[in-house]
Amino acid sequence: MEDFLEKSMSRLRRASERAAERTAKMHTFDHVDTRETLEELVGRKLKGRKLILVSNREPYAHVYQGEDVTWFRSAGGLTIALDSMAAACQAVWICHGGGNADFTVTDPQGRVAVPPDRPRYTLKRLRLSREEEQGYYEGFSNETLWPLCHVTYTRPRFSFKDWQTYQAVNDKFAKAVLEEADEGSIVFLQDYHLSLVASMLKKERPDLTTVLFWHIPWPNPEIFRIFPWKTELLDGLLSNDILGFHLRYHAENFMETVGLELECQADWDRMLIRRQQRSSRVRAYPISIDFKGIFEQAESSSVVRACQDLRRQFRLTGRKVGLGVDRLDYTKGIPERLDALDRLFERYPEHRGQFTFVQVGTPSRTHLEDYKQVVSTVEQRCDEVNEKYGQDGWQPVVFLKGHQNFDTLIPFYKLADLCLVSSLHDGMNLVAKEFVAASSNDRGVLILSPFTGAARELEQALLVNPYDTEAFAESIHQALSMPAEDQKVRLERMRHTVAENNIYTWAQAILNDVVRLAEDSQINPAPAA
């Protein structure tokens, strides 16, 4: 199994390198690695065009704490990454307002300046009814599209009522964009929640340039063909001028799907689809993080003190620490991770009492039965491992369930000797990159599933199939036994990769392509719909 997996990963790496070479020939970008240089690029290239970001999730939420209103920053990888981009571009960000005090602090149009402590851009929040949340978000987005696109053997649920609600909420987002859009604005849509928005916008405003980034895997055509509303969904996506994916593999899956399902012209050399007098570019843009910001925060004295507090609080002093940071989702492979820890302590008893694993789990989609089952399974497996191996003053697994402010995660990353990212299927998984940026300078081992986009970039991680319990346990033992110099070399190389390919270079790649398209559309305007 290990030989087969290594050969498969070697082929994937070679394919990724070839794709990177092709991409380098197609695009010539100015070098950007900080917020300041991205701001300078935006000033030169956007030339006053407004940038509007649109996503389901909000980067900041306001909540009541007693009678007072406080706020927190989302810990989600997508919102953390885009927050840096929005600030650099002084964008307007439209999203669903889910905090119980969100609309207490907004103006009548749902607008509020963020970040709350140092405002840099405008957040525009939409109200969704409980029925809309159930049909659009919990139902269609996460019981239909999410399992359809992830190979985790969870069957998608197809509800016509949810599909109708999904359409209605996409229309609601589109109307909010139209309220904010100026002539020639650039609209950057995020993810599978908003597949139809571009088609709704283009009917009213063909002058807008739209790009949608699909943050999850795109399935192969054989899987996608079971989807009842495939023509409508594909038409919505192809209304975008650019469609972005994390991996070229997913972009190619999309190209193949469209070629089999719709009448169109597919130009594979240029990764271009022409349909009904409209052209859509299909691109791979691997998303990343604000490396410098996270690294500097992790080096601060406040984080050093927080690490010391965590060691005392959870009895970690003198012990090695493992870390998992995940939404409590069935795609993240948390039960498989706990099985591997069980086998580790059984096979290598010398780690008992010497190694503690901290699992930070954020509840997600808690009204859905599949997600309730994930929480129940994780809690049960943590209890079983702790009961089986626990000793006076030590338990193998510390399970911290709850919503986390991103800033509170940095000390966990920094104190961890190893981080387990064992997704069964993932578009990218930014936890892997956050750990690389925030861990201590001279130590830290990343154990990474090959079924993540991050595995294509972080080649110095220990790659392990999360379904292979024996190999997974062996990888944890290898990480715990790895010499300090080996850890340092691996970490430095991964740091270099993430620092060079950070959120600002990702944003620049997309904005360069978008601006080029916007300029072309002014020379050759699109026909009215």
Q: What are phi and psi of 208, to 5 degrees?
A: -75, 140
Q: Do residue 267 and residue 214 come from a single domain?
A: yes
In a 10 Å sphere around its CB, with 0-12 CB exposed, 13-18 middle and 19+ buried, how is residue 400 labelled? middle
- pTM assigned to the model: 0.88
Peptide bond into 115 cis (omega under 30): yes
**pLDDT above 70 (res 79):** yes
User: Do both 471 and 510 map to the same domain?
Assistant: no
More confident residue, 38 or 279: 279
Tokens read off for 456:
């294509």
User: Which ranges constitute the DSSP H helices of 393-445?
Assistant: 406-415, 431-438
The reply to whether 63 and 120 lie within a common domain is: yes
Whether 243 and 378 map to the same domain: the answer is no
Q: Are 39 and 59 in a shared domain?
A: yes
> What pLDDT digit, counting tens, does each position of 154-203 carry?
999 999 999 999 999 999 999 999 999 999 899 999 999 999 999 999 99
Residue 459 lies in a domain: yes
Rounded CA-CA distance 447/323 in Å is 10
Does 51 fall in a domain? yes
> What helix, strand, coil percent values describe the chain, rounded to 5?
50, 20, 35
Task: Say if residue 220 is in the same domain as residue 355.
Answer: no
Q: Tell whether 387 is covered by a domain.
A: yes
% of residues, the chain, pLDDT over 70: 91
Give the domain extent around 362: 293-500
Residue 30 has pLDDT above 50, yes or no: no
Q: Domain holding 373: CATH number?
A: 3.40.50.2000
Q: Which residue has the tokens 């984080």?
A: 303
Q: What is the pLDDT of residue 66?
A: 93
| Residue 147 belongs to some domain of the structure | no
- Is residue 114 over pLDDT 50? yes
Answer yes or no: do 379 and 410 share one domain: yes
- In a domain, residue 29? The reply is yes
Distance CA 416, CA 21 (A): 35
Specify the number of domains making up the chain.
2
419 neighbors 439 (Cβ within 8 angstroms) = yes
Mean pLDDT of 430-438: 96
Q: Kindly report the number of other CB atoms within 10 A of residue 189's CB atom.
A: 29
Average pLDDT over residues 127-147: 97
240 assigned to some structural domain? yes
Q: What is the dihedral of CA 60, 95, 330, 384, to 10 degrees?
A: 30
Same domain, 79 and 192: yes
Question: Is residue 260 situated within a structural domain?
Answer: yes
Tokens of 172: 């609601």
Report the mean per-residue pLDDT for the chain: 90
The answer to whether residue 164 is domain-embedded is no
Q: Do 317 and 274 share a structural domain?
A: no
Same domain, residue pair 432 and 354 = yes
Mean pLDDT of 96-104: 95
Does residue 202 sit in the same domain as residue 225?
yes
- Is residue 280 within 8 Å of 393, Cβ to Cβ? no
CB atoms closer than 10 angstroms to residue 518:
21
